[in-house]
Structure 1
Amino acid sequence: MSPAPRFGVNYTPAQGWFHHWLDFDLDAVRTDLDAIASLGLDHVRVFPLWPVFQPNRSLIRPRAVEQLLQLADAAGERGLEVNVDGLQGHLSSFDFLPSWTATWHRRNLFTDPEVVAAQAEYLRTLAQALADRPHFLGMTVGNEVNQFSHAPHPDPDPVGQDGAGAWLERMVAACEEGAPGRLHLHAAYDAAWYQDGHPFTPAHAARVGAATAVHSWVFNGTAQRHGPGGAATEGHAAYLMELSKAWARDPHRPVWLQEVGAPAPHVPPERAAAFTAATVAQALDTEDVWGVTWWCSHDVSRSLADFPELEYDLGLFTVDQHPKPAARALADAAAQARAEWRPAPPRTTALILDAVPEATADARPGRSVCAPGGAFFEAFARLAADGARPAVVLREHADDPAHLAARGITETVSVEHAS
């Protein structure tokens, strides 16, 4: 039997948000981690700010790395394992890029040889520093770095699909070189699954690294179309997890729901706990779930300016450490899953996905059919609302008995027949 899934949180410091790296206070970090541990969670995902840690292409600050180790060790002392994101990169609408990639030194993040070599050395250095910590889970290359590659970013760094894949492979290899055998992976926002022409593809997400990371946000049109309590809204994370499995070569590749949260007003505060419980329950009803990591641990202080409104109140805790109802919902879900864990059975009925990452000569649709409002997304939502447990299978595998058998699929349904 597969092990029970992991439950954790994306750590957002209560004091100073991620700017805390500029004025690092270990006692404040410990207070935050005590609150997280009180929920019975088992891991945190943490975010060094790339320009703070590597302010010059040839300088990775030893003091910053030491502070990261202090944070990781404080987490370990509280029974929390640690995943470290490297290239931050992008957080809560703000870009954090070192000056040696911008303005007078403007260079492409994905294709410039010197920039890419420096990124790889940075990731290798962080991984190597953490490698001897038994509570170190592994590295995530960065937080949704794919958003730098394409519209709607106001100043994108263009790269082709092959180049994006090569960049990911090199970054993950650098993490593995620094800390062999740990859970190293990369993470993308949902343009990789939903946006036609986006250079980071579903295949990259589902095939590069040791697990597939899913970031699920229902402000992408899902909650607007289906409402905060709609089946598609509460099942959005599970949908993305099933979508990822269609693209994976390994039928039992681990899937990590690495970011998911309850963004107001799309999920009203009075529904946040119910949304949390429903989202987790449906995520656990997929096979091969590595874990669930909620966004985020603490609210953003209202003293900090210019955040999008929905970013301020996503925390499980207020800035003064008071748990919100969603915190208890996540803690209860974790406790129940550990006590009663039974792996989800296979989803035996699969909806056929006839789409490719790019438009092709034979006019097959692009991946935008998978986005909210797209024909495939809405067909999956109808099946789920009717009580089905749909999986997803690519058209090219729909008549492959070996592929279907490996995934436990016994029936396939076309979008046209899903009603």
Structure 2
Amino acid sequence: MTAAQDPRAEAPRFGVNYTPTAGWFHHWLDFDLDAVRADLDSIAGLGLDHVRVFPLWPVFQPNRTLIRPRAVEQLAALVDAAGERGLDVAVDGLQGHLSSFDFQPSWTRTWHRRNMFTDPDVLDGQAAYLRTLAAALHGRDNFLGMTVGNEVNQFSGEPHPDPDRADPAQVDAWLRRMLAACEQGAPGRLHLHASYDAAWYLDDHPFTPWHSARIGAATAVHSWVFNGTAQRYGAHATATAQHAAYLVELAKAWADDPRRPVWLQEVGAPAPHIAAEDAARFTADTVAAVLDCPDLWGVTWWCSHDVDRALADFPELEYGLGVLTTDRRVKPAGARLAAAVREVRAGWRPPRARTTAVVVATGDEVTAPERAVCGPGGAVFEAFMRLVEDGARPTTVLAERVGDAAHLAARGITEVVHPHDVR
């Protein structure tokens, strides 16, 4: 298996976001390759084919002009160890934000406070860092590519307590600059960027659906039902089981390429919204729903291993999200994910086109100032879920494209419905 596979022709990929058992992401400070190998063995034992890994930005680039060679070597060693176990590796660069903690280098904070999206010196440093990581891994067949960073859009506005303000045009320029650096370091790999769902659901957020669906080699979506979905509809509701599939299909409304791959890059079963004893059922329902989405690149579950409870101050839900325990035992959700992998590989058939499209009107297709209609409780969200409950397989289409016959035909859409028409 190589990174060169065409995601349109192959079955979707299955992987996990790698959370080390020894020290969580702080393991970069005391890197233990033997512990990493043992973690990767337990991941490979589930039959998965890739991991997404997270260098901590301040550890790897503690000074704007110092990218630590030893840290880069350790990342390369992790990628090599994964390859020995049949696992491909996607690398996030600017970490950034992980499990409620921010990791930004001191040369961007307090006395050196500079905007990470607009300051010329910071941009130079970020681009050099991303280019260096990509170049160091480019020669490895199991290196998939770079994600600019994990949910870096959360730094750009509320509810972050100290945001780096940027407007959509500045975000556009920043994303293109960072992805160009990744491409310079490792030409032709799967380089993309990732936002949490404010990009899709929050009015006036500077990271927009247009950015997600138009910039980079694929569209990444992160599905978390603690965003109000599980609270509003319940753990067993259609909306909760279908939330990930909905985001995959919502992303297609803004894509220019009708076959653009969508990567469900994060999805998990957060307690207490999804009870621990219900996680396997939720996993099965979520995976089944997204596998019915055409052009799905893959599913990368959050996360590989639980967080050690010896580590303090995490939100409670973060401790138990692993499909494996901290002593590398398979949990019921992990067993169900492994079963899904076996089922797909035993006989994959790409899903049929989704012929019914819900119209998405957000005021402007580029900046989407009224995108709350897409979020839980919004008109588009509600219409989509009602159609699913009625047995349909809906997708979405922008209001600006309803009259574009060529676009509709390219996506296989034969019926267009407005949210107010769905009862």
TM-score, structure 2 length as denominator? 0.97
Paired residue type of 2:238: A
TM-fit CA distance, 1:170: 0.6
Q: Is residue 351–residue 414 contact of structure 1 (8 Å, CA) maintained in 2? A: yes
Amino acid at match of 1:32: D
Residue 415 of structure 2, aligned match among 386, 407, 411: 411
CA gap 1:344/1:157 in 2 versus in 1, 3 angstroms: same
Counterpart contact for 1:287–1:344, Cα < 8 Å: yes
* Residues 177-199 of structure 1: per-residue CA shift (max 9 Å, x gap): 00000000000000000001100
* In 2: Cα distance, 1:266 partner to 1:124 partner: 39
Q: Is the Cα contact below 8 Å between 2:363 and 2:369 reproduced in 1?
A: yes
Alignment of 1:2-401 (within 5 A): 2-356=9-363, 366-401=370-405
Structure 1 position 357, deviation (Å): 5.7
Letter in 1 for 2:286: T
Spell out, residue by residue over 1:57-111, the C-alpha distance to the aligned partner (whole angstroms, 9 max, x if none): 0000000000000110000000000000000000000000000000000000000
- Aligned-residue sequence identity (percent) comes to 71
The letter for the 2-side match of 1:407 is R
8 Å CA contact retained: 2:208, 2:366: no
2:3 — aligned with what?
none
| Residue-by-residue CA offset, 1:343-402 (whole Å, 9 max, x unaligned) | 111000111111136999xxx970011111112111111111222111100011112111
- Does the residue aligned with 1:140 lie in a helix, a strand or coil? strand
Deviations 1:269-302 (A, max 9, x none): 1110111111111111111011000000000011
Provide the C-alpha distance between the structure 1 equivalents of 2:400 and 2:134, rounded to a whole number of angstroms.
Answer: 38
The one-letter code of the counterpart of 2:70 is R
Question: SS of the counterpart of 1:60?
Answer: coil
CA distance in 2, matches of 1:45, 1:371: 27
CA contact (8 A) 2:221 2:266 kept: yes
User: Helix, strand or coil for the counterpart of 1:235?
Assistant: helix
Give RMSD over aligned pairs: 1.3
C-alpha spacing 1:192/1:357, structure 2 compared with 1 (3 Å): farther
- For structure 2, which runs of at least 5 residues remain unmatched after alignment? 1-7
The alignment of Structure 1 onto Structure 2 pairs a total of residues equal to: 416
Shift in Å at residue 225 of structure 1?
A: 1.1
Moved >2 Å (runs of 4+): 356-360
Structure 1: tracts of 5 or more residues without a match: none
Contact 2:204 2:369 in 1 (8 A): no
SS of alignment partner, residue 320 of structure 2: coil
| Mapped partners of 1:387, 1:397: distance in 2 | 25
In 1: Cα distance, 2:136 partner to 2:369 partner = 45
- Output one character per residue of 1:222-249: Cα deviation in whole Å (capped at 9) or x when no partner: 0111111111101000000000000000
CA distance in 2, matches of 1:109, 1:346: 40
Change (3 A) 1:187 1:218: same
d(CA) in 2 for partners of 1:237, 1:225: 16
In structure 1, C-alpha distance between the alignment counterparts of 2:400 and 2:111, rounded to whole Å: 47
Aligned residues of 1:232 and 1:385 also touching (Cα < 8 A): no
Retained in 2: the 8 A contact 1:379–1:415? Answer: yes
Where 1:316 maps in the other structure, the secondary structure is coil
